[in-house]
Chain A
Amino acid sequence: MPDNYIITNNDGLYRRYPIREEPKYEHFWKLENGRKIPSSAAFKTKHGEDGLSVDIASLTTPAKASGDPLHFGVAEFQASVPLNAGFPCVPDKQPGNDAHALILGDTNPIAKKLSRSIVAIY
């Protein structure tokens, strides 16, 4: 990723979510209008976090963003959703993951909006 990369409304963002189900009956998604979408809980920062981790879609692949397709799915939404809600999205390279970025701030107030704006599930 270029050091001066700027996330715009046109960028897609990937957020990983757990897909373990049987045998423990743990699941983290629900069907809404026939679509399998993660709970808004997957988009809420926890206490002490300064932002929500995502990957920039144009700089990675869903498989890389998942890392472990047996245990994690990937949800894609447009960066315009947090940006238009006043939440800056900034690149945040991590070792081994140049596509990593942060939605800055406490995302609890927009978690529902993010889960509803999902455009693709991988």
Chain B
Amino acid sequence: MNAKLLAQTYSPNELRIQKLVLAYTFSANRDVLFSHFSYQTSAITSIKFIQAFELKTLIMGFAHLEQNWDGYNAEPISSSSIATALEVLGQLENDRMFSRKISIHVFPMRSGGIQYEFDAENLSAELEIDTNGGMQFIVFDEKGNIIDRAPLFDYELSSLAYSLEDAVTDAR
């Protein structure tokens, strides 16, 4: 893999890309790590794949957060929310959301859940995952006011891409 080429194309710095490549290359469990996405080894050459891998690494790392991880007595992240966050990530990958001009971030929540943040020129949205794995999809205007908030059920995950596209339209 050409780390320099990836770094030129993908926004994070070269050092981070190199670390990801090394982590993958030397991971004894790489087949397990990558099984969630059903990829072949050659797929590591995909920049989008690295983006998904980075988010997956982040989400799995949330399991290490202990009580008071934010200095304000935040709760540890629940295993249910981690499982759901990985399920969402798989769906985003299936829907090729990483190939669109939507910036995707994932963060631990103080309550023990996880939230995705979706940002684009005309989009600001969050997907909150609570400690039981329940989901809420929230859309904001440019000032951060809530425009819409609605539950999203597991069986509706496949509609997430459409919800994001609708959100782009609504925010215009």
A residues bordering B, Cβ < 8 Å? 16-18, 22, 24-28, 30, 32, 39-42, 44-47, 53, 67-68, 71-72, 109-110, 112-117
Contacts and interface: CB of A to CB of B under 8 A. Distances in A.
A18 B61 CA distance: 14
Contacts of B105: 30, 39
A80 B35 CA distance: 49
A28 B71 CA distance: 13
Given A18-B70, A25-B54, A30 B143 contact: no
Interface stretch (B39-47, B108-116, B151-159): B108-116
B145 A28 contact: no
B107 A28 contact: yes
A30 B115 CA distance: 13
B115 A18 contact: no
Interface in B55-77: 57-58, 61-62, 64-65, 69-72, 74-75
B119 interface: yes
Contact of B144 (A25, A42, A46, A115): A115
Q: Is the interface of B mostly helix, strand, loop or mixed?
A: mixed
B64 A39 contact: no
Contacts of B54: 25
B37 interface: no
A5 B22 CA distance: 55
Contacts of A112: 124, 126, 140, 144-146
Give the residue among A18, A40, A53, A116 with the most B Cβ atoms within 10 A.
Answer: A40
Nearest to A116: B144
B14 interface: no
Contacts of B93: none
Contacts of A68: 71
Contacts of A26: 58, 61-62, 64-65, 108
B117 interface: yes
Contact of A72 (B19, B71, B112): B71
B109 A25 contact: no
Given A28-B108, A30-B105, A46-B110, A40 B126 contact: yes
